[in-house]
């Protein structure tokens, strides 16, 4: 019985991880696009872009470590 609950929790948190990963990817792409379009980007914009990229790749590595696969 404990193992069923464990698998259910794992699936639930895997789904949350995938939604966060998707949201962070969109945010990172938006920041990257803003950086590319700006003529003279400020340091704050550059830092926000790097931070968004780092967050995305951190969750990407976590998903890879958990061996989560997208169901298309």
Query: Taking the domains of the chain in order of start, what are their residue ranges?
Result: 13-66
Stretches in the chain below the pLDDT threshold 50: none
Provide the token pair at 17.
């991880």
Nearest to 51 by CA among 22, 30, 65, 37: 30
* 41: phi then psi, degrees, rounded to nearest 5: -70, 140
Cα Rg of the chain, angstroms: 16
């Amino acid at each position: 019985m404990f193992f069923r609950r464990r698998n259910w929790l794992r699936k639930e948190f895997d789904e949350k991880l995938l939604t966060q990963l998707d949201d962070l990817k969109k945010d990172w792409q938006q920041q990257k696009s803003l950086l590319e379009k700006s003529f003279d980007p400020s340091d704050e914009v550059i830092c926000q872009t790097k931070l968004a990229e780092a967050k995305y790749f951190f969750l990407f590595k976590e998903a890879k470590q958990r061996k989560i696969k997208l169901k298309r």
